[in-house]
Amino acid sequence: MLNALKIFSTQRSAWLLLFFSAAALEGTALYFQHGMGLQPCVLCVYERLAMVGLMVAGLLGALAPSSLFFRLLALAVGLFSAIKGLLVSVRHLDLQMNPAPWKQCEFIPNFPETMPFHQWFPAIFNPTGSCDSSQWSLFGITMVQWLVFIFAVYALLLILISLAQFKKARHNRSLFK
């Protein structure tokens, strides 16, 4: 399996799949906000930024998928984004499942002063909602629960692909050629 993942990671289509899947999820979030009128909270904004990180990882890997340097760089960015997104979405889920007055999220995103994404791209990263309210569900599963699952799948796949990078290529020996 690791050998197949290593071969898959050297193909541009694998990285474009990562980019387009993350872009589709980001587009869905923007549709929920601007098309359906759902209001994102601060943690939603952080989850969106993690999804943008996965898009960046897909683009980095697609630049030169046969280069070990670009694959490792893309995997590092992708793993960081997937794990950070998973941690934020687990915290978000905790706020929704166990609401309490002492467990609140901030109203203004805590971005570095040199990168105020909520000021640069307010249509994407400006929070207007509350973290403890659930506004949408599919099959009885809330949006945040879906995000926990999605980020966990991304993290698991990227961990497996990272491990596959250190697997030596196996030469197929056949008795009958």
> pLDDT tens digits, residue range 89-126?
998 888 878 777 666 777 777 666 777 777 677 777 77
Q: Is 48 annotated as catalytic?
A: yes
* 12 is known as an active-site residue: no
Tokens 């990882």 — which residue? 57
pLDDT at 87: 94
CB 40 within 8 A of CB 80: no
Determine which one of 91, 131, 170, 173 is catalytic.
Answer: 131
User: What is each CA distance from 62 to 8, 58, 71, in whole angstroms?
Assistant: 12, 6, 9
Per-residue pLDDT tens for 141-156? 788 888 999 999 999 9
Looking at residue 144, what is its pLDDT?
86
What residue ranges do the domains of the chain occupy?
Answer: 1-100+130-166
Question: For residue 156, what are its two tokens?
Answer: 């698991």
Specify the DSSP class assigned to residue 29. H
Is residue 71 flagged as an active site residue?
no
The dotted CATH code for 1-100+130-166 is 1.20.1550.10
- pLDDT of res. 171: 57
112 by Cβ neighbours in 10 Å (0-12 / 13-18 / 19+) ranks as exposed
The model's pLDDT over 9-24, given as tens digits with 9 standing for 90+, comes to: 778 889 899 999 999 9
Q: Is 91 a catalytic residue?
A: no
Cβ–Cβ under 8 Å, residues 51 and 22: yes
How many CB atoms are located within 10 Å of the residue 77 CB? 20
Q: What digits encode the pLDDT tens for the residues 34-86?
A: 888 888 888 888 898 899 999 999 999 898 888 888 888 999 999 999 999 99
- Residue-wise pLDDT tens digits, 24-35: 999 998 898 888
Catalytic site residue from 12, 44, 71, 91: 44
From 99, 107, 94, select the one nearest 145 (Cα to Cα). 94
